[in-house]
Amino acid sequence: MKHLLGISDLTADQITKILDTATHFKEVINRPIKKVPSLRDITIANVFFENSTRTRLSFELAQKRLSADVINFAASNSSVKKGETLVDTVNNILAMKVDMIVMRHASVGAPHFLAKHVNAQIVNAGDGTHEHPTQALLDCFSIREKLGEIAGKKIAIIGDILHSRVALSDILAFKKLGAEVMLCSPPTLVPKHAIEAWGVKVTHNLQETLEWCDVANVLRIQLERQQIKYFPSLREYSIYFGINKQMLDNLNKEIVLMHPGPINRGVELSADAADSGHSIILDQVENGVAVRMAVLYLLAGGE
Ligand code: CP
């Protein structure tokens, strides 16, 4: 594969190959010397048109652990503010002998457009409400690490499905690897075509969802993408769809709690749930570096 634009382009075997490669890189990043020379001839630009903490830093660290040369571009302090187009911006970066572009953009399809119009490998680090493939890969890696396998597991995705790029990439990846997927949200925050198009169950009952699932993957309410009100108030959302530690303890079973971050503490998750023994949220962040190393290594031609 030349690019990584979405989970929709990957087969189950390709996903498994990335996860297996990431297992090797997780061992590497836990060594005293965390660096390997695999990408020492490659230059990568991280081109971010939207805010990020985890994804941008995780890609940069993955690139440095692989010995790539790295440059970082943030649209907010660039000549984009003077009217330069996306293609001109990226072509100017490529003129500096850059080989690969990791891009986050607020517009759906921006990395797919770029892949058609510039001569470089493109990795999608999140395009609007569409896909976030490396988040789904690190989520799969984290579930596999915790539960042994994904096939046959019951995974619930709870929260703002409508505005989430993580939701679509996760659903595609979990289904390809043989999991059962249930979505839980207020009726206004789940796309109406979801059940038929994605082959998932949909419910609006949080307690029923928690009793059903092995993994609860909780998503943030994305107020910045909501132009209209989808529910009366955050307080009311939290009463019906917020998860606290007591709710998880009362299930009397092992349940894995995940969240891609950033967390709205006190809205979708209480602080005691986010920091509880059920949570693998910081493991997800650690695994993100290994998974992104695997993606970059394989795209650069590694075996
Ligand atoms: N999970 C995630 O994409 O986080 P950031 O927006 O901080 O990169």
pLDDT digits (tens, 9 = 90+) for 10-53: 999 999 999 999 999 999 999 999 999 999 999 999 999 999 99
Identify the residue whose C-alpha is closest to ligand 1 atom 1. 260
What is 25-89 written as a DSSP string?
A: HHHHHTSSS----TTTT-EEEEEESS--SHHHHHHHHHHHHTT-EEEEEEGGGSGGGGT--HHHH
Q: Average the pLDDT over 157-162 and give the result.
A: 96
52 lines ligand 1 (CB under 6 A): yes
Q: How confident is the model at residue 228 (pLDDT cuts 50, 70, 90)?
A: confident
**What is the pLDDT at residue 91?**
97
Q: Which atom of ligand 1 is nearest to the CA of 55?
A: 8
**82 CA distance to ligand 1 centroid (A)?**
27
Whether the CB of 106 sits within 6 Å of ligand 1: no
- Between 228 and 265, where is the model more confident? 265
Q: pLDDT tens digits for 103-136?
A: 999 999 999 999 999 999 999 999 999 999 999 9
For the chain, the structural domain boundaries read 7-132+285-299, 133-281
φ and ψ at 59, to 5 degrees?
Answer: -65, -45
Q: Residue 272: is it exposed, middle or buried by C-beta count within 10 angstroms (0-12/13-18/19+)?
A: middle
Is this prediction's pTM over 0.85? Answer: yes
Residue written as token pair 């911006």: 89
Q: Which atom of ligand 1 is nearest to the CA of 56?
A: 8
pLDDT for residue 235: 92
**What distance in Å separates the CA atoms of residue 263 and residue 281, rounded to the nearest whole number?**
10
Question: How far apart are alpha carbons 168 and 79 in whole angstroms?
Answer: 32
In this predicted structure, what is the pLDDT of residue 224? 77
Mean pLDDT, all residues of the chain: 95
> pLDDT at position 1, please?
86
Enumerate the β-bridge partners of residue 297. Answer: none
How many residues in total does the chain contain? Answer: 303
User: Average pLDDT in the 247-262 region?
Assistant: 97
CATH number of 133-281: 3.40.50.1370
Question: Do residues 44 and 70 touch, judged by C-beta distance below 8 A?
Answer: yes
302: nearest Cα among 46, 101, 41: 41
Q: Which atom of ligand 1 is nearest to the CA of 58?
A: 8
Rounded to whole angstroms, how far apart are CA atoms 160 and 167? 9
Q: Name every residue whose Cβ is closer than 8 Å to that of residue 124 and which is 6 or more positions away in sequence.
A: 3, 4, 5, 6, 103, 111, 131, 132, 133, 134
- Please say if the pLDDT value at position 5 is more than 80: yes
Query: Six-digit token pair at 282?
Result: 């910081």
Pocket perturbation via mutation, ligand 1, pick of 53, 56, 142, 287 by most ligand atoms within 8 A of CB: 53
Atom of ligand 1 nearest to the CA of 261: 1
Distance CA 138, CA 25 (A): 13
As a whole number of angstroms, the distance between CA 32 and CA 83 comes to 46
Q: DSSP alpha helices (H): ranges in 199-280?
A: 206-212, 234-241, 245-249, 271-274
Predicted pLDDT of residue 303: 78
Confirm or reject: Cβ of 89 under 6 Å from ligand 1. Answer: no
Domain covering 7-132+285-299, topology: Rossmann fold (3.40.50)
H or E, element range at 197: helix 194-198
Encode pLDDT of 166-180 as tens digits: 999 999 999 999 999
Closest CA to 247 of 284, 222, 218, 223: 218
pLDDT at position 196, please? 73
Query: How far is 271 from 269, CA to CA, in rounded Å?
Result: 6
SS3 content of the chain, % helix, strand, coil (to 5): 45, 15, 40
Q: How far is the CA of 192 from the centre of ligand 1 (A)?
A: 26
Pocket flag, ligand 1, residue 261 (CB < 6 Å):
yes
Answer whether 142 contacts ligand 1 (Cβ < 6 A): no
Compute the distance from residue 163 Cα to the ligand 1 centre, in Å: 14
Q: Angle 205-222-231 (CA atoms, 0-180°, nearest 5)?
A: 50
Cα–Cα dist 176/193, whole Å: 19
The span from the CA of 275 to the CA of 259, in Å, is 11
Q: Collapse the DSSP code of 46 into the 3-class scheme (helix H, G, I; strand E, B; otherwise coil) and give the result.
A: strand
